[in-house]
Amino acid sequence: MVCATLAMAFIAGNGCRAEQQPWPLWDSYVKGFIDQQGRVIDHSGSDRTTSEAQAYAMFFALVANDKPHFDSLFKWTQQNLAQGDLAEHLPAWNWGKAPDGQWKVLDSNPASDADLWMTYDLLEAGALWHDSGYNQTGTAMADHIAEKEVAMLPSSCASGPLLLPAPQGFHPDDYTWIVNPSYAPLPVLQYLATRFPHGPWGAMVQELPQFYNHTATAGFAPDWSKCIAGQGWMTTPAPSAQSVQGAVGQPASASTVAAAIPGAQPAAGIPPAPPVPSFGSYDAIRVYLWLGISDTTTPVVKESLESFPGMANYLSHQGLPPRTVDNFGSVKNADGPLGFSAAVLPYLTALGQKAAAKTQEDRLAGALDKGTGLYGNPPYYYDQNLALFARGWLEKRYRIEKDGSLKLKWK
């Protein structure tokens, strides 16, 4: 077999050189958002870097068979977010310019969604690129997540383990748990359940449909939800999210939201708390994306999709996904950004809603800037990430198998 040799190639397990796959959107993203050290820069967020950004970029580099960038992303993350060792320390979620002018970790609390994606990236990189070091680090990270970010809730909340958004701040007392549904990507959890059958992952996957059903608000995914022992799930606002999202839109940080949500009171002798206004927006949009890219033959995927018919119903007669929906299913801001259209594409495809999906495709196509090769002008970090996940899947650059493993175009 004849294999091409390029500068951006590496030795594959079969002894030939596997080329980096051409992916114009990824190449444009690298040029616009990743520096030479391997740091992903969120220009709309004061040039900060998050563990989420590093984890997502590592996934895209794997899909593109771009090992040089994967390596640099990993090294920067390990050196700057994990005290030099990701096998020992989960990465801090936020790094940027401090008030004293220094560039450093601004919040050391990890973010469990980034931790999960990074673990997945490393384990799959270890398998696909035959790199035992990546496999060992990913295995260690999985153990740390299970120990520090997975919680067993009481039976009034869940029948199995669930993922907390971070090690600190989301179990403020003995009877309250605060969660973010978008932090638990089903394909990643399924993969960990397959790789580590003795861990909490299989039970967590089985719990997801019930969890989604309990937290869905009028058929839409919420950004945040909480459970109080003896009372069950209820809506939870994120009062500080606006300061994090700003005008361009970013998910609220786990630590900021945790600090802003007051603790609940014990269930004993206290009437159930009434519903309070909360929203599905920049975080929740990823729930649809994660379900959309999952293998639809998995029973829990079908059950989970059935928990969120609100978005599909809305898009069957409206052009754009809403930016903000309250917990009563009322659209508060109908002007969803470009990334939202990308995020719902796999979801609509999974549901067989071809007309609604085409509307989102057409919107994205019309917003591609030929000068930058990115979506929107200016191109926002979060929009590009959602687009990379969605476009990569739609273009069959990757598929996620029933067991959660990656099937890649280049492999």
Per residue in 102-136, pLDDT (tens digit) is: 999 999 999 999 999 999 999 999 999 999 999 99
Residue 109 belongs to a domain: yes
pLDDT score recorded for residue 251: 58
pLDDT score recorded for residue 268: 38
Residue 29 belongs to a domain: yes
Helix extents (H) in 40-196: 51-63, 67-81, 112-128, 132-148, 186-195
Residue 52 belongs to a domain: yes
For residues 116 and 136, membership in a common domain is answered with yes
Indicate whether 12 pLDDT > 80. Answer: no
Cα(408)–Cα(168) distance, integer angstroms? 36
For residues 122 and 139, membership in a common domain is answered with yes
Taken in order 227, 116, 386, 44, the sign of the CA dihedral is: positive
For residues 167 and 185, membership in a common domain is answered with yes
Q: How confident is the model at residue 236 (pLDDT cuts 50, 70, 90)?
A: confident
For residues 98 and 132, membership in a common domain is answered with yes
Q: Which one, of 405, 411, 391, 408, lies nearest residue 27 by Cα?
A: 391
For residues 34 and 112, membership in a common domain is answered with yes
For residues 140 and 238, membership in a common domain is answered with no
Give me the mean pLDDT over the 206-222 stretch. 94
Cα(51)–Cα(241) distance, integer angstroms? 18
pLDDT score recorded for residue 276: 52
pLDDT score recorded for residue 31: 98
Residue 19 belongs to a domain: no
Q: How confident is the model at residue 388 (pLDDT cuts 50, 70, 90)?
A: very high
Cα(184)–Cα(192) distance, integer angstroms? 12
Neighbours of 138 (CB within 10 A): 25
Strand order in the sheet with 176-179: 176-179, 225-228, 232-235
For residues 160 and 144, membership in a common domain is answered with no
Cα(72)–Cα(50) distance, integer angstroms? 15
pLDDT score recorded for residue 237: 75
Percent over 70 (pLDDT), the chain: 86
For residues 101 and 178, membership in a common domain is answered with no
CATH classification at residue 41: 1.50.10.10
pLDDT score recorded for residue 246: 32
Indicate whether 161 pLDDT > 50. Answer: yes
For residues 71 and 117, membership in a common domain is answered with yes
Of the residues 52, 121, 326, 383, only one is catalytic, namely 52
- Residue 361 three-state SS: helix
pLDDT score recorded for residue 371: 97
Residue 3 belongs to a domain: no
Neighbours of 154 (CB within 10 A): 16
Residue 285 belongs to a domain: yes
Residue 174 belongs to a domain: yes
Q: Tens digit of pLDDT for each residue in 181-211? A: 999 999 999 999 999 999 999 999 999 999 9
Of the residues 66, 113, 115, 207, only one is catalytic, namely 113
Q: Which pTM was predicted?
A: 0.90
Give me the mean pLDDT over the 322-340 stretch. 95
Give me the mean pLDDT over the 79-86 stretch. 98
For residues 235 and 141, membership in a common domain is answered with no
Cα 64 to Cα 20, 24, 308, 405, distances in angstroms = 6, 10, 31, 16
Q: How confident is the model at residue 92 (pLDDT cuts 50, 70, 90)?
A: very high
Q: Enter the tokens of residue 18.
A: 């596997």
For residues 215 and 353, membership in a common domain is answered with yes
More confident residue, 245 or 188: 188
- Residue 113 falls in the annotated catalytic set: yes
DSSP string, 365-395: HHHB-TTTSSBSSSPPHHHHHHHHHHHHHHT
Indicate whether 275 pLDDT > 70. Answer: no
Whether the CB-CB separation of 355 and 399 falls below 8 Å is answered with no
Number of structural domains the chain divides into = 2
More confident residue, 362 or 239: 362
* Chain mean pLDDT for the chain: 88
More confident residue, 242 or 312: 312
Residue 339 belongs to a domain: yes
Q: Which residue has the tokens 């979506």?
A: 375
pLDDT score recorded for residue 269: 40
Last residue of a domain, one of 84, 113, 148: 148
Q: Enter the tokens of residue 337.
A: 């950004």
C-alpha radius of gyration, the chain, whole number: 20
Segment of 18-32, 132-146, 274-288 carrying the highest mean pLDDT? 132-146
Q: How confident is the model at residue 321 (pLDDT cuts 50, 70, 90)?
A: very high
Domain hosting residue 59, numbered range: 24-148
User: In what helix (H) or strand (E) does residue 105 lie, and over which residues does it extend?
Assistant: strand 103-107
Indicate whether 11 pLDDT > 60. Answer: no
For residues 135 and 163, membership in a common domain is answered with no
Last residue of a domain, one of 117, 148, 179: 148
pLDDT score recorded for residue 243: 30
- Residue 306 falls in the annotated catalytic set: no
Q: How confident is the model at residue 326 (pLDDT cuts 50, 70, 90)?
A: very high
